[in-house]
Amino acid sequence: MQEAAHVATNAVHHVGGDVVHAVAAAAHNVHEAVVHQAEASSHSITHMMMHLIIQLAVIIVVAKIGGYLFQRFLKMPSVLGELASGMLIGPYALGGMIDIPNLGILFAESHGFAATPQLYGIATLASIILLFLAGLETDLAAFIRYSVVGSFVGLGGLFAAFVLGDLCAVFWPGNGIDSFMDPAALFLGVISVATSVGITARILAEKQKMASPEGVTILAGAVFDDVFGIVTLAIVMGMAKVSLGGGEVNWGEIGIIAAKAIGFFVVVTALGLIFSRKITAMIKKFKSTEIIVSICFGLALLLAGLAEMAGLAMIIGAYIMGLALSRTDLAHEIEHHMEGVYNLLVPIFFCVMGMMVDFAAMKPVLIFGSVYSLLAIVSKVVGCGLPAYAMKFNLRGSLRIGLGMLPRGEVALIVAGIGLASGIIDQGIFGVSIMMTVVTTMLAPPLLVKSFEGGSGLRKEMDGGGEDVEVIELAFPSRDITEFLLNRFVRALQAEEFFVHHLHTEQPTYRVLKDDIAFTLVQDGGKLIINVPQANQHVARMILLEELLSLTDLLESTKQMKDLDEMGSDLMSGLFA
Amino acid sequence: MQEAAHVATNAVHHVGGDVVHAVAAAAHNVHEAVVHQAEASSHSITHMMMHLIIQLAVIIVVAKIGGYLFQRFLKMPSVLGELASGMLIGPYALGGMIDIPNLGILFAESHGFAATPQLYGIATLASIILLFLAGLETDLAAFIRYSVVGSFVGLGGLFAAFVLGDLCAVFWPGNGIDSFMDPAALFLGVISVATSVGITARILAEKQKMASPEGVTILAGAVFDDVFGIVTLAIVMGMAKVSLGGGEVNWGEIGIIAAKAIGFFVVVTALGLIFSRKITAMIKKFKSTEIIVSICFGLALLLAGLAEMAGLAMIIGAYIMGLALSRTDLAHEIEHHMEGVYNLLVPIFFCVMGMMVDFAAMKPVLIFGSVYSLLAIVSKVVGCGLPAYAMKFNLRGSLRIGLGMLPRGEVALIVAGIGLASGIIDQGIFGVSIMMTVVTTMLAPPLLVKSFEGGSGLRKEMDGGGEDVEVIELAFPSRDITEFLLNRFVRALQAEEFFVHHLHTEQPTYRVLKDDIAFTLVQDGGKLIINVPQANQHVARMILLEELLSLTDLLESTKQMKDLDEMGSDLMSGLFA
């Protein structure tokens, strides 16, 4: 493209000289350009593909190793390692310097964007997979009837983060942003909204505080945070579209846009929930799980595309589709089948996000970034801590909850990526968002561990044993048996209408909730570890016993199967006949 | 690109008129084009992504349903259904007519190619996954010491198919191809080489002929076919590159090119086999299977890219990497983890291949296509049948083997795609290749079923019971238990140095081979079906019994675990305390 344009521009430069000659030259150049282009179009697709495949090879290997190092040695979520790998190998760092013969620059800017459309396409696909699975793992029904404290904590943090993030941009001098409704300001608000509870969950699990009142509240708050974060993004996308179109956004219009965005969310989710059973019943006619999973994912892609066409973002559609399917019995099956795709593609997304960080563009906004990050911390600590303090927690407990809600992660990165790709935020602001994500995620663990020293976080000790957690460990003879049993167990719990939340942590961790019952299941190699608070232990044990008995029955029936016996005697007779 | 070129061409059209005016107009147009382009570059990336995601949604849903319909109702491999879906929704059919508001034409040509780089990138990734897994499922060591008949059958069919495919192009009048060494002719040769044994395997399994002498020979022949097909492709790519560069290819040079290609294959594969255990030992330090699988796949992508840079094709590198890892204990793990990615992405590849079929371009070459398809049939029936007849089979048996080797499939499509993308073959020849693939795959099943009527296919009855097949059915209480046991069983067999070949058929089917022992495992829902010939049954039963006993032990130990008992009594005491 650049070449053809360049040729034409050349022709124009000749205007001052011999005009006829210039036109002839232009004609010649254009002819050459067209021929060149035709050649390029047939040849370069293989070259582009070769380049893409080598880029993917480098990204997958480096991102996976980076993620591993961060997880293993820094005890940080692997997403930070993937991000850091991207910064290292991106076009603004090493990748822009490595020039391979017969290939060219390993990672070069393409039309002012850090990734080629073909690489960004795979990253986009990964972001949709991420949000689809996030939706799938949220249980909306449980969410609706869930803890009041959790909802206030989630909403408080969300509101504070959004307002402070936006205002930070408005009051910062010299950036040209002077209105709360400026699309860039709105994006800075919405980027700082979504809490990523993964690292908090791991620390809670390690310190055996998952079933503590603070732990339960944090995990409940995070669910609200997820759902309302997506709704907020929908509203902001609507407002940004109006602003970008040159329109002034007044409060009346915001009402309409918000109503539309919430309407889209509620109506589509409701339709999804109502029809999901019918649709899945229809899809199930295909019998093969593989086809069923693919078609469900195809529908998620379709809703993602439609959401974007409706002026929202693709991830909103993907999340809603996941949410709609979360109440069906396919949820666990889809999640299980898509795990491989998730593991392979999602790190590519985070690495590509890291590659987009342009250090040169970040330099002038470093101070702004520090203030923005600080406000992102304050907003969650205060925004989540205040409602907690107003309910049943003391200062210590409120601080723990605020710190638990501190880390930002996947969703913040995706939203920042959307802002950059759509041109709403520039590379500087994008870098600032990455900085905020990294700072909050890295600060949370030490602060959280520190805060859990000392006594109870409740205003007055509630019924004595509220914080005593029972740890039940079951050791099985092999890892695959444990995995098998865990999967069966999760499915049985879901069939009994439990809300089972799969946390993407290093070890498979499931959070099980229903009404007042809450416990966690962690698979650690061949061991199954169950954390259950004293108060719930009777119910939890009852359910576990029931499940174990039915498993024992199943194993017994397998062992004593007629066929196995027959086969054994068959074998003997065959051998000695 | 087209726009800028168009603008420039416009400027040139004015040469006959007012020249100065024309140049000014050109200047103006060029300016507009450049501005437009700059705008497009920041905005259009989100639009491109939205378009891509909607295309992927349509492709996944349509391809999966198409594959299902072909498999279920036509008893054809799903790949044909995916291909047909692509033809239906491609830019030269429905997809080129559907114009969606705010989106544009659903599937449009992009720079003379049926897919955009971002869509083709995902398809290319899928083709690499396909060949990586194909390599992983081939056992080179078993292949080396395997049946002599199989090797002659495989090589005979390969040689005949290559020569006849190439000569067909040379002797066909009016296509401008007059040399055996013409790149297009070479590609027509190599496209017709690779047998796709999937549908044959299914028919053999259904008719319980998998363990028959013909069945064993066909499956052995297909392994040779795979490996030598890849080597042939490597040689042809080398020759085509020289020809395209304007050089005349003489026989001396072919020798050098062939030596280089075979050398690359042998050296890299040997290095892979030698170091694979060391490399995997190193990779295994990461402990998490997920990371290990990703890094192995990253290395496959890297070798794919390097193969392309060395003048070969990417799939060759991917296949070699699979081959190198096939002897390690990671093979089954990688295969298992990548199944989800395979199921989701590979149908996209076949659908995109179908989309590339330009019916208008095919019309003038339909008769040529019919002759080419006919020769593709003759070449395998004669090329595989003759060596079989020369060894121990009679005419009936030789025909069965020839027909079993008839269907072409995945690899033929990938090679044709490579030819089209690199500009070596045009859209007409590409269409012809698809036609040949479809014709051979559709004709094989009825002919094969018919040919298996009647008596033995052996020249003289060998040791009586050679064809008697024992069928052992084990019914388990649930599908997941069966899957679990099958997986354990496969791993145990691999640990005992068996060559376990996973066939991608509708039901999970494993072909187990070692020296003279050969049997098949098929999972049909909750049932495990074992096909074993009389001659092998003692050994097979022995191994099965051993495995079943160790499984029984494992289940027993699980059931009687101290922890479970403790937990039970714990529970009781907890409840009644």
Last residue of one domain, picked from the residues A94, A127, A156: A94
Any domain includes B111: no
CATH of the domain at A157: 1.20.1530.20
Residues from chain A that touch B302, judged by Cβ atoms under 8 A, are 54, 57-58, 61
Mean pLDDT of B221-240: 82
Residues from chain A that touch B337, judged by Cβ atoms under 8 A, are 340, 343
B395 and A CB contact within 8 Å: no
**Contact: B544, A567; criterion CB under 8 Å:** yes
What is d(CA B306, CA B248) in angstroms, rounded to the nearest whole number? 26
Residue A11 pLDDT class (50, 70, 90 cuts): very low
Provide the residue range defining the domain that includes A512: 470-563
Mean pLDDT of B143-151: 68
Residue A34 pLDDT class (50, 70, 90 cuts): very low
Q: Write out the DSSP string of A516-544.
A: TEEEEEEEETTEEEEEEEGGGHHHHHHHH
Q: pLDDT tens, A242-301?
A: 776 666 666 777 777 778 778 888 888 888 878 877 877 887 777 788 888 999 999 999
**Which residue type sits at B383?**
G
Mean pLDDT of A66-83: 89
Q: Which of A64, A79, A345, A562 to mutate to test binding with chain B, by most B CBs within 10 Å of its CB?
A: A64
Question: Are residues A482 and A436 located together in one domain of the fold?
Answer: no
Percent over 70 (pLDDT), chain A:
78
pLDDT of residue B101: 85
When mean pLDDT is compared over A474-478, B10-14, B346-350, the highest value belongs to B346-350
What is d(CA B199, CA A499) in angstroms, rounded to the nearest whole number? 43
Residue B488 pLDDT class (50, 70, 90 cuts): confident
Last residue of one domain, picked from the residues A419, A451, A483: A451
Beta bridge partners of A521: A510, A530
Any domain includes B457: no
Query: Do residues A235 and A258 touch, judged by C-beta distance below 8 A?
Result: yes
A159-173, A541-555, B91-105, B297-311: least confidently modelled range: A541-555
Residue A84 pLDDT class (50, 70, 90 cuts): very high
Q: How many CB pairs under 8 A join A and B?
A: 370
Residue A118 pLDDT class (50, 70, 90 cuts): very high
**Which residue type sits at A480?**
D
Question: Are residues A302 and A400 located together in one domain of the fold?
Answer: yes
DSSP classification of residue B284: G
**Contact: A122, B120; criterion CB under 8 Å:** no
CA distance A175 to chain B (A): 20
Residue B34 pLDDT class (50, 70, 90 cuts): very low
Question: Are residues B214 and B291 located together in one domain of the fold?
Answer: yes
Q: pLDDT tens, B89-133?
A: 999 999 989 998 888 899 988 877 889 999 999 999 999 999 899
Any domain includes A504: yes
In this complex, the residue of B120, B345, B563 whose CB is nearest that of residue A474 is B563
B567 and A CB contact within 8 Å: yes
pLDDT of residue B57: 97
Percentages helix, strand, coil for chain A, rounded to the nearest 5? 70, 5, 20
B557 and A CB contact within 8 Å: yes
**pLDDT over threshold 90, residue B136:** no
Any domain includes B461: no
| CA A373 and chain centroid, separation | 20
Question: Are residues B129 and B37 located together in one domain of the fold?
Answer: no
Interface of B with A in 347-376 (CB under 8 A): 347
What is d(CA A293, CA B60) in angstroms, rounded to the nearest whole number? 11
A424 HSE (CA, 13 A, CB side):
28
pLDDT of residue B249: 61
pLDDT of residue A12: 40
- Helix, strand, or coil here: A91? coil
Beta bridge partners of A523: A528
Q: Which residue has the higher pLDDT, A28 or A110?
A: A110
Interface of A with B in 398-427 (CB under 8 A): 418, 421-423
Closest to B28 (Cα-Cα) out of B10, B53, B1, B44: B10
Question: Are residues B151 and B88 located together in one domain of the fold?
Answer: no
Expressed in angstroms, the distance from the first to the final Cα of chain B is 80
Question: Are residues A515 and A374 located together in one domain of the fold?
Answer: no
**pLDDT over threshold 90, residue A396:** yes
What is the pairing mode between strands A527-533 and A517-524?
A: antiparallel
Question: Are residues B237 and B147 located together in one domain of the fold?
Answer: yes
Any domain includes B459: no
Tokens of A566: 């027959």
Question: Are residues A170 and A82 located together in one domain of the fold?
Answer: no
Percent over 90 (pLDDT), chain A:
30
In this complex, the residue of B52, B290, B544 whose CB is nearest that of residue A343 is B290
CA distance B179 to chain A (A): 23
| CA A431 and chain centroid, separation | 18
pLDDT of residue A40: 44
B281 and A CB contact within 8 Å: no
DSSP classification of residue B327: T
Interface of A with B in 327-346 (CB under 8 A): 337-341, 343-345
CA of B577: which chain A residue's CA is closest?
Answer: A538
Beta bridge partners of B113: B110
**Contact: A571, B15; criterion CB under 8 Å:** no
Long-range contacts made by residues A246-250, C-beta under 8 angstroms, separation at least 24? Answer: A249/A181
pLDDT of residue B157: 94
**Which residue type sits at B22?**
A
Q: What angle do CA B343, B345, B346 make, to 5 degrees?
A: 75
Tokens 């710190």 — which residue? A403
Closest to B302 (Cα-Cα) out of B500, B75, B128: B128
**pLDDT over threshold 70, residue B516:** no
What count of other Cβ atoms lies within 10 Å of the Cβ of residue B17?
9
Residues from chain A that touch B422, judged by Cβ atoms under 8 A, are 42-43, 46
Helix residue spans in B209-330 (DSSP H) = 213-244, 251-283, 289-309, 314-325
What is d(CA A268, CA A270) in angstroms, rounded to the nearest whole number? 5
Residue B2 pLDDT class (50, 70, 90 cuts): very low
Q: pLDDT tens, B168-188?
A: 999 988 778 888 888 899 999
Mean pLDDT of chain A: 79
Residue A144 pLDDT class (50, 70, 90 cuts): low
Closest to B482 (Cα-Cα) out of B520, B542, B529, B545: B529
CA distance B163 to chain A (A): 27
Closest to B303 (Cα-Cα) out of A237, A399, A57, A476: A57
Q: pLDDT tens, B364-412?
A: 889 999 999 999 999 999 999 999 999 889 999 999 999 999 999 888 9
pLDDT of residue A556: 61
Query: Do residues A377 and A440 touch, judged by C-beta distance below 8 A?
Result: yes
CATH of the domain at B499: 3.30.160
When mean pLDDT is compared over A204-208, A314-318, B2-6, B396-400, the highest value belongs to B396-400
What is d(CA A276, CA A329) in angstroms, rounded to the nearest whole number? 10
Q: Which residue has the higher pLDDT, A70 or A22?
A: A70
Question: Are residues A405 and A499 located together in one domain of the fold?
Answer: no
Q: Which residue has the higher pLDDT, B124 or B138?
A: B124
**Which residue type sits at A356?**
M
| Residues in CB range of A245: below 8 A, 6 or more apart | none
Report how many helices (DSSP H) and strands (DSSP E) chain A contains, helices first.
Answer: 21, 7
When mean pLDDT is compared over A531-535, B386-390, B459-463, the highest value belongs to B386-390
Angle at which helices A213-244 and A410-421 pack, to 10 degrees? 0
pLDDT of residue A402: 94
Question: Are residues B305 and B157 located together in one domain of the fold?
Answer: yes
Beta bridge partners of A528: A474, A523
Handedness of CA A408, A411, A417, A423 (dihedral sign): negative
In this complex, the residue of B43, B50, B68 whose CB is nearest that of residue A309 is B50
Any domain includes A105: no
Question: Are residues B445 and B332 located together in one domain of the fold?
Answer: yes
What is d(CA B66, CA A291) in angstroms, rounded to the nearest whole number? 11
Residue B461 pLDDT class (50, 70, 90 cuts): low
**pLDDT over threshold 70, residue A566:** no
**pLDDT over threshold 50, residue B190:** yes
Q: Write out the DSSP string of B103-137.
A: TEESS--BTTBSS-HHHHHHHHHHHHHHHHHHHHT
Mean pLDDT of B544-554: 67
Mean pLDDT of chain B: 79
Any domain includes B299: yes
pLDDT of residue A458: 83
A314 and B CB contact within 8 Å: yes
Q: Write out the DSSP string of B186-206.
A: HHHHHHTT-B--HHHHHHHHH
Question: Are residues B354 and B481 located together in one domain of the fold?
Answer: no
Q: pLDDT tens, B275-324?
A: 877 877 887 777 788 888 999 999 999 999 998 888 778 888 898 899 88
**Contact: B561, A476; criterion CB under 8 Å:** yes
Closest to A192 (Cα-Cα) out of A409, A362, A384, A516: A409
Burial level of B495, CB count in 10 A (0-12/13-18/19+)?
A: exposed
In this complex, the residue of A26, A537, A571 whose CB is nearest that of residue B574 is A537
Any domain includes B463: no
Q: Total domain count for chain B?
A: 3
Last residue of one domain, picked from the residues B71, B105, B139: B105
Residue B245 pLDDT class (50, 70, 90 cuts): low
Burial level of B232, CB count in 10 A (0-12/13-18/19+)?
A: buried
Q: Which residue has the higher pLDDT, B370 or A31?
A: B370
CA distances from B533 to A492, B316, B463, B519 (A): 41, 35, 12, 7
**pLDDT over threshold 90, residue A405:** yes
